């Protein structure tokens, strides 16, 4: 009897667990394009960068040796108070790992000084200016660039990962 109940429970839960593990649209596009050597990195970045919010995207890849070339995606992640533009690139490495880079860009009506006081910037360390108008800050795993834009501030958060985890296609 317990066995039958366990089988029934497993059958009922299968659609739920399958739905939870549904592949994101960028990951699906990468897989369909033949970019599978770094598919787990694409999936992890897509989930992390979308924050499970509504988003639109487009992607770029090579038609020749797709699985050995960079894969790039751009996303507009939508929130109730605006959107964030995200761009990420994943590159296969010969050792079976993948490198990645992402940039998140957004405008805030707050001044750059007020932006520095936001929670995500609490541990930021000033690195200096890129040239004249852009200040560079370092966080634990990312870099943040701030540029005055009217009365507000343009923010770019960037991260690069080298030899990211071994892939599981």
Q: Could you give the C-alpha distances from 55 to 83, 97, 155, in angstroms and in order? A: 9, 27, 19
* Tens-place pLDDT, residues 94-138: 888 899 999 999 999 999 999 999 999 999 999 999 999 999 999
Residue 63: pLDDT above 60?
Answer: yes
Cα separation, 75 vs 84, in Å, equals 8
Q: Could you give the C-alpha distances from 37 to 24, 59, 101, 159, in angstroms and in order? A: 17, 16, 16, 21
Which of 14-18, 20-24, 79-83, 111-115 has maximum average pLDDT?
111-115
Q: What is the DSSP letter of 23?
A: P
Parallel, antiparallel, or unpaired: how do β-strands 125-129 and 134-138 relate?
A: antiparallel
Cα separation, 26 vs 90, in Å, equals 12
Dihedral Cα 150, 112, 159, 65, nearest 10 deg: 0
Cα separation, 58 vs 73, in Å, equals 6
99 strand-pairing partners = 91
Sheet holding 152-164, edge to edge: 54-61, 71-79, 82-92, 98-108, 152-164, 143-149, 134-138, 125-129
């Amino acid at each position: 009897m317990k066995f039958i109940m366990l089988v029934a429970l497993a059958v009922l839960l299968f659609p739920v667990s399958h739905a939870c593990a549904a592949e994101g649209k960028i990951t699906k596009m990468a897989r369909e394009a033949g970019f599978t050597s770094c598919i787990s990195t694409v999936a992890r970045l897509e989930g992390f960068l979308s924050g499970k919010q509504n988003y639109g995207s487009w992607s770029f890849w090579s038609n020749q040796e797709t699985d050995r070339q960079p894969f790039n995606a751009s996303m507009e992640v939508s929130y109730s108070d605006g959107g964030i533009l995200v761009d990420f690139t994943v590159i296969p490495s010969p050792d079976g790992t993948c490198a990645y880079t992402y940039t998140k860009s957004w405008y805030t009506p707050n001044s750059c000084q007020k932006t520095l006081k936001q929670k995500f910037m609490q541990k930021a360390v000033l690195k200096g200016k890129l040239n004249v108008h852009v200040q560079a800050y370092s966080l634990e795993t990312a870099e943040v660039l701030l540029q005055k834009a009217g009365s507000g501030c343009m923010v770019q958060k960037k991260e690069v990962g080298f030899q990211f985890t071994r892939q599981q296609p």
